[in-house]
Homo-oligomer: A and B are copies of this chain.
């Protein structure tokens, strides 16, 4: 019997790294694959936690909304990332919503099974703590940025971070490898799409970036870094 490719993906994921193959095989018995088309929702904010996913392929967006419809983007998720971290912490409901921004394949498993596996195999629980700590640290950084930096710098930093985690080298420069609108950038930086548009237009004029409809290519990463760091 051929080893399932899913085992391979899990073995490389942030949550199951270093976990023995036989444990993964057991987990895989209750796991399943699920596809989400771009734009489809994986779960809504406040949904009850039933399933935990690991991204096989694709890209998803985590958002958090207020009652009156205001929304911010918490982070983007890509291959190997956990979708629905609440399952790791024993949370009852999802604190944010997750939507696919590209066609995506997720490997899902029941939250109860995962919780049980964590009690049995400390390595998984330790990985969970590590990945949550990583996300927490990222958020601390963004909070500080939002509190202390001006809009232009925030946008610059955000683009550089996105390039780092989902950049693709092309002839023109580093392209953000998923659809990213002005509105999206606004929701990541705590500003409005108008201000983002004006800022990007400015950079476009200086040849720093090359952008279009839901598309951003960083032509001169060095220049963008300069904007982000000083002046």
Interface residues of A (CB under 8 A from B): 64, 66, 70, 72, 74, 85-86, 88-91, 95-96, 118-123, 125-126, 128-130, 132-137, 139-144, 146-148, 187, 189-190
Rounded to whole Å, the gap between the CB of A131 and the closest CB of chain B is 8
Are B88 and A133 touching (Cβ within 8 A)?
yes
Are B139 and A140 touching (Cβ within 8 A)?
yes
Please, how many angstroms separate the alpha-carbon atoms of A105 and B34 in the complex? 50
A96 partner, pick from B96, B126, B134, B140, beta carbons under 8 A: B140
Are B118 and A126 touching (Cβ within 8 A)?
yes
Are A118 and B122 touching (Cβ within 8 A)?
yes
Are B66 and A130 touching (Cβ within 8 A)?
no
Looking across the interface, which residue of chain B has its beta carbon closest to that of A137? B95
Listed residue (A118, A141, A189) with the most chain B CB atoms within 10 angstroms of its CB: A118
Are A72 and B147 touching (Cβ within 8 A)?
yes
Q: Contacts of A118 on B, CB cut-off 8 Å?
A: 122, 125-126, 129
Are A143 and B144 touching (Cβ within 8 A)?
no
Are A140 and B190 touching (Cβ within 8 A)?
no
Please, how many angstroms separate the alpha-carbon atoms of A123 and B120 in the complex? 9
Looking across the interface, which residue of chain B has its beta carbon closest to that of A95? B137
Please, how many angstroms separate the alpha-carbon atoms of A121 and B142 in the complex? 33
Rounded to whole Å, the gap between the CB of A224 and the closest CB of chain B is 19
List the 4 closest A-B pairs by CB distance, nearest first: A89-B133, A147-B190, A125-B125, A132-B132
Q: Contacts of A123 on B, CB cut-off 8 Å?
A: 119
Q: Contacts of A139 on B, CB cut-off 8 Å?
A: 136, 139-140, 143
Please, how many angstroms separate the alpha-carbon atoms of A142 and B74 in the complex? 11
Looking across the interface, which residue of chain B has its beta carbon closest to that of A90? B130
Listed residue (A70, A121, A143, A190) with the most chain B CB atoms within 10 angstroms of its CB: A143
